[in-house]
């Protein structure tokens, strides 16, 4: 039963007194989770913490990491995400740095009346570079008070159920558990995202690694849909025509690094980052079109538009590599392929399907069914997905010393990053590391179960049947895709 011993070690880290790091806020010490099964379940339904903490109220915890130093003997992983609870015991002794990205708004270019005018605008804008975003030290987490003030017994009951792989804590109702999973994912009102705590914990789990956390502003499908702008068919046709011009394409390909790109690369060099995980991605072209339709915008087909920019991105990447822009950076980027359940074959389907990418792997999800991998119904698939990893019903850390379980390519991606980080010492270059990860795939492009911490699969992968798997997927459905709200799709001159 070795696979369960390692899971116990994760949850025992949550027991009071087991953490080496001091918790700095009153909220943090009001109850740590899982006692390893020694505390009896609470008699009252534990989904109701102190009534002084109504759902929706929140507290903000600030984290400073300027006194942390990476251990030179460990590989370093950069995690770009949102909602990091850096006080969670799973991260003890592993955080080397934490940062957040701040960005200022810019006004869109004025409407161009001719193709010549639009071409001049784009050349000028791309040649000048984008200086809107900058990294700053430290990060913060807004946590719902409901979670921070949970009774220790209730938290214990919840965490122990995950340790024992029980369908529900003994005293919990179906509705209690369903509500709790929603709160741990996005808060009771859907406004709190704790995504990074879960994804980073899967990289940290039983892994001797340095972690550099970069907090950015991610949002849900609803957030993105509220902010996308209508696309004027005439403006779309004009921009597509302008992108045929050599001087416009050349300006895009040879554009200087944006401030965000430059500062992230500098951070990777400073920490010697070997793996970079991004459990989010751009909006699928189909979803962009549907968002515009739902807003009452004119009907447009955007596949050719995203394809052209994907091809330009590939040329830009090749140009930058040839001119030394990435010198001194040996990090392999691991990125979630997305939960839209789509066949993605190129940038016409999803913008991060850049042709001929050499430093990035897109990761889909599989679940374990009777001991074998089975492609997750929600996972994107197709020629653009480089490999698949365990991403279905995965136990992970949650804020306020909870654990939770969830599904999504968001969880498959960090498990690939975890494997890559464990091979980083033996593979000194990005290309060698990428080649090793790719070579480990099966014929179905699955990263084998033997490389996955299968003890983190919530249900027993050897015995669970389809009915149990279906029941659990109703209570813990895959998380919605998260999008970088700074990079919502829009015509270039509207960015």
Whether residue 320 is predicted with pLDDT greater than 70 in this model: the reply is yes
First to last CA, the chain: 54
Tokens of 141: 């987490």
Higher pLDDT residue, 470 or 392?
392
pLDDT of residue 125: 92
Q: From CA 48, how far away is CA 26, in angstroms rounded? A: 20
Helix axes 233-242 and 115-128, enclosed angle (nearest 10): 70
Residue 22: phi and psi, rounded to 5, are: -80, 140
pLDDT-based confidence at residue 46 (cuts at 50, 70, 90): very low
Phi first, then psi: give them for residue 100, nearest 5 degrees.
-135, 150
- The token pair at 274 is 């070997």
pLDDT value of position 175? 78
pLDDT at 140: 94
Find all residues with CB under 8 Å of 423, minimum gap 6, and list them. 433, 436, 437
CATH fit for domain 2-494, picks 3.40.50.200, 3.30.310.160, 3.10.20.90, 3.40.710.10: 3.40.50.200
**pLDDT for 466 beyond 90:** no
Q: How many other C-beta atoms lie within 10 A of the C-beta of residue 371?
A: 12
Q: For residues 347 and 308, give the distance between their C-alpha atoms in angstroms, rounded to a whole number.
A: 8
Closest CA to 282 of 262, 310, 259, 252: 310
Rounded to whole angstroms, the Cα distance separating 102 from 260 reads 9
- Say if CB 60 and CB 141 are below 8 A apart: yes
Task: List residues bridging with 284 in a β-sheet.
Answer: 350
| Average predicted confidence (pLDDT) for the chain | 83
- How far is residue 69 CA from its own chain's centroid? 24
pLDDT for residue 54: 60
**Whole-number pLDDT of residue 473:** 52
Query: Does residue 433 carry a pLDDT above 60?
Result: yes
* Residue 76 CA from chain centroid, whole number: 17
């Amino acid at each position: 039963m070795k696979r369960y011993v390692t899971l116990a070690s994760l949850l025992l880290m949550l027991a009071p007194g087991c953490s080496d790091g001091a918790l700095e806020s009153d909220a943090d010490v009001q109850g740590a989770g899982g006692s390893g099964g020694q505390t009896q379940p609470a008699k009252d339904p534990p989904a109701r913490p102190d009534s002084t903490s109504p759902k929706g109220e929140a507290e903000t915890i600030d984290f400073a990491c300027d006194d942390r130093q990476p251990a030179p003997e460990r590989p370093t992983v950069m995690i770009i995400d949102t909602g990091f609870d850096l006080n969670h015991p799973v991260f003890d002794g592993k955080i080397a740095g934490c940062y957040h990205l701040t960005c200022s708004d810019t006004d869109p270019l004025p409407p161009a009346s001719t193709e010549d005018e639009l071409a001049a605008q784009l050349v000028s804008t791309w040649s000048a570079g984008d200086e809107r975003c900058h990294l700053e030290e430290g990060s913060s987490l807004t946590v719902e008070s409901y979670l921070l003030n949970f009774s220790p017994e209730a938290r214990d009951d919840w965490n122990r159920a995950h340790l024992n792989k029980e369908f529900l804590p003994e005293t919990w109702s179906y509705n209690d558990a369903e509500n709790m999973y929603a709160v741990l994912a996005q808060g009771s009102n859907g406004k709190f995202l704790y995504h990074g705590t879960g994804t980073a914990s899967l990289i940290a789990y039983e892994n001797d690694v340095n972690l550099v956390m970069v907090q950015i502003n991610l949002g849900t499908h609803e957030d993105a849909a509220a902010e996308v702008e209508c696309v004027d068919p005439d403006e779309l046709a004009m921009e597509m025509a302008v992108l045929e011009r050599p001087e416009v394409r050349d300006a895009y390909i040879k554009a200087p690094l944006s401030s965000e790109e430059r500062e992230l690369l500098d951070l990777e060099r400073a920490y010697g980052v070997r793996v970079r995980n991004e459990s989010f991605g751009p909006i699928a072209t189909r979803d962009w079109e549907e968002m515009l339709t739902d807003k009452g915008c004119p009907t447009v087909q955007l596949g050719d538009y995203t394809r052209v920019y994907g091809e330009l991105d590939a040329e830009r990447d090749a140009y930058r590599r040839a001119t030394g822009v990435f010198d001194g950076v040996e990090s392999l980027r691991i990125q979630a392929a997305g939960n839209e359940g789509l066949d993605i074959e190129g940038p016409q389907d999803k913008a991060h399907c850049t042709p001929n990418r050499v430093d990035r792997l897109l990761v889909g999800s599989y679940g374990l069914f009777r001991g074998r991998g089975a492609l997750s119904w929600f996972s994107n698939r197709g020629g653009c997905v480089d490999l698949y990893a365990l991403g279905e019903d995965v136990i992970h850390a949650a804020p306020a010393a909870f654990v939770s379980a969830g599904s999504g390519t968001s969880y498959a991606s960090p498990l690939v990053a975890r494997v890559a980080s464990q091979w980083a010492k033996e593979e000194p270059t990005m290309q060698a590391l990428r080649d090793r990860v790719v070579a480990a795939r099966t014929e179905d492009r699955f990263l084998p179960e033997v490389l996955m911490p299968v003890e983190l699969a919530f249900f027993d992968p050897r015995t669970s049947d389809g009915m149990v798997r279906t029941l659990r997927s109703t209570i813990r459905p895959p998380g919605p895709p998260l999008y970088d709200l700074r990079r919502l799709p829009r015509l270039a001159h509207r960015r």
